[in-house]
Every structure is written in structure tokens, then in C-alpha cells.
């Protein structure tokens, strides 16, 4: 392996570690998206769809409207990740098209595995592996919102809308797994003193780690 490649990976990891400040817009979008996703996941278990002998309930109606709003929020989140500076950007959330960034993700994964073997976790803020996982979670939320909206408002044939609904239900299960894992690890990090929840939900700018 060339020195240039090694230096590139080290520089990327160092850059990621420094990009830990979250602005107010990032925090606001994160909070709105969190509330919307939790609402959609919970309401999906409570809603009653319209049928021949049944009428849709309030949970079903709010699921439809919040779903459309969620798509707008997640699109805004992606667009903001493309233009924001001094924060984690799109290329960090979705590093898979860059060999050096992808290598840094796997390297950081190994660092996490080693830390877990010592019954601890690295400070998550700005690290390549957790950031890439966040990107995958955001991608799943995007697919869930897009397929739900397509099923609701599309003029496509019934077969296409049924296929979209099937994808929507499948991806929603993945989002459940992501949300539970994401929240659980955030609590573990908080218990270890990494202050992730305070940094994300405090109106003040997060401090660099």
C-alpha cells in the first residue's frame, strides 16, 4: 500500500473527527425528522385502512399527511448535506463511491470492534463508520417516505402502487431496526460520557471532541 493512500486515509479520518459541530438547522431537521419517523412507525401499527365495511381511522389519515411531510423533510436534509460546510456533508454520509472514504469506514469499524472487545466505544462524533451508518439509515427513511408517497398520490397502475407499498412495508421494518439500534447506542454513548444527546438536541452549537 502506498504512502499516499495511507496519508489520504489518515487525512480523511482527521477531517471527519474535526467536523463535529452541528448547526441549528442541522439540529432542527434532525429533530423534525426524528419525530416524523417515530410517528410513522407507531401510527403504522395503529392505523385502520379504508375497506368495504370499515372507514379509515385518525391514525391512518395522519400517517398519510405526515408521510408526505416526511418526504419533504428528508429531501431538505439531503439538500442541506450537499451545501453545508464545517459539518458532516453528503460525501461523509454516503462515502461508498470513494475508495479512500470507504476504506476509512472499514478501518473505523475495526476500531469499534476492538473497543467493544474492551467493553467501551469510541467517541462517535464525526467518525467515519457511524456517519456512514447514519447515511444508510437516512437512505432507508428516504425510500420509506418516497414509496409511501408514491403509493398515496401516484396515478400509476394499481400493480405499480402495490409493488411500491410492498417495498414501503419492507423498508419500514429496516427503519425500525435502525431507530432502535440508533437510540440504544446513543444511550450507551451518553452513559460513557460522550454527551451525544446533549450535543444534538441542545440549541447551542456542539463542541468539537
The string of pLDDT tens digits covering residues 70-98 is 999 999 999 999 998 778 889 999 999 99
CA nearest 129: which of 49, 12, 27? 12
What's the pLDDT at 204?
64
Grid coordinates given for 129: 463508520
The whole-chain average pLDDT of the chain stands at 84
* 203: DSSP letter: S
To the nearest 10°, the Cα dihedral for 30, 32, 33, 35? 120
**How many structural domains is the chain composed of?**
1
pLDDT (0 to 100) of residue 99: 94
Using the predicted structure, report yes or no on whether residue 38 has a pLDDT greater than 80.
Answer: yes
The contacts of residue 11 (CB under 8 Å, 6+ apart) are none
The answer to whether 167 touches 143, Cβ cutoff 8 Å, is yes
Dmax over CA atoms of the chain, in Å, equals 70
CA distance 46 to 186: 27
In this prediction, residues 154-170 reach a mean pLDDT of 92
Q: Bigger pLDDT: 193 or 61?
A: 61
Please report whether residue 206 resides in a domain. no
Q: Find the domain containing 11 and state its range.
A: 3-201
Torsion of CA 208, 201, 69, 57, to 10 degrees: 150
Percent of the chain with pLDDT over 90: 54
| Residue 129 CB neighbours (<10 A) | 21
**DSSP track, 55-112:** ---HHHHHHHHHHHHHHHHHHHHHHHHHH--SS--HHHHS-TT-HHHHHHHHHHHHHH
Does residue 208 lie within any of the structural domains? no
Residue 29 lies in a domain: yes
Nearest CA among 3, 37, 15 for reference residue 176: 37
Residue 209 included in any domain:
no
Per the domain annotation, does 146 fall within a domain?
A: yes
82: in domain: yes
* The three grid cell numbers given for residue 45, joined into one nine-digit string: 401499527
Chain segment 9-36, per-residue pLDDT in tens: 555 444 444 455 677 888 899 999 999 9
Report the sign of the C-alpha dihedral through residues 6, 7, 10, 16, in that order.
Answer: negative
For residue 196, pLDDT over 60 is answered with yes
Backbone angles phi, psi at 35, to 5 degrees: -65, -40
Identify which of 46-60, 95-109, 180-194 has the greatest average pLDDT: 95-109
Is the residue at 207 inside a domain? no
**Per-residue pLDDT, 185:** 86
Instruction: Reply yes or no on whether the pLDDT at 151 is more than 50.
Output: yes
pLDDT band at 52 (very low <50, low <70, confident <90, very high): low
Q: How far apart (Å, rounded) are the C-alpha atoms in residues 100 and 119?
A: 29
Query: What CATH number corresponds to the domain at position 117?
Result: 1.20.950
Residue 100 in any domain: the answer is yes
Instruction: Note whether 189 and 196 are within 8 A (CB).
Output: yes
111 pLDDT more than 80: yes
Amino acid at each position: 500500500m502506498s504512502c499516499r493512500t495511507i496519508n489520504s486515509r489518515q487525512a480523511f479520518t482527521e477531517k471527519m473527527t474535526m467536523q463535529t459541530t452541528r448547526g441549528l438547522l442541522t439540529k432542527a431537521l434532525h429533530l423534525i425528522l426524528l419525530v416524523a419517523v417515530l410517528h410513522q412507525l407507531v401510527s403504522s401499527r395503529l392505523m385502520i385502512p379504508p375497506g368495504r365495511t370499515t372507514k379509515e381511522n385518525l391514525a391512518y389519515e395522519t400517517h398519510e399527511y405526515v408521510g408526505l411531510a416526511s418526504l419533504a423533510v428528508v429531501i431538505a436534509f439531503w439538500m442541506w448535506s450537499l451545501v453545508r460546510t464545517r459539518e458532516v456533508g453528503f460525501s461523509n454520509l454516503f462515502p461508498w463511491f470513494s475508495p479512500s472514504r470507504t476504506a476509512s469506514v472499514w478501518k473505523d469499524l475495526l476500531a469499534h470492534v476492538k473497543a467493544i472487545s474492551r467493553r467501551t466505544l469510541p467517541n462517535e462524533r464525526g467518525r467515519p463508520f457511524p456517519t456512514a451508518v447514519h447515511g444508510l439509515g437516512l437512505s432507508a427513511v428516504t425510500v420509506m417516505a418516497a414509496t409511501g408517497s408514491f403509493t398515496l398520490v401516484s396515478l400509476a397502475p394499481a400493480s405499480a402502487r402495490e409493488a411500491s407499498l410492498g417495498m414501503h412495508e419492507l423498508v419500514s421494518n429496516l427503519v425500525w431496526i435502525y431507530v432502535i439500534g440508533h437510540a440504544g447506542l446513543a444511550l450507551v454513548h451518553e452513559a460513557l460520557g460522550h454527551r451525544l444527546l446533549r450535543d444534538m438536541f441542545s440549541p447551542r452549537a456542539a463542541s468539537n471532541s
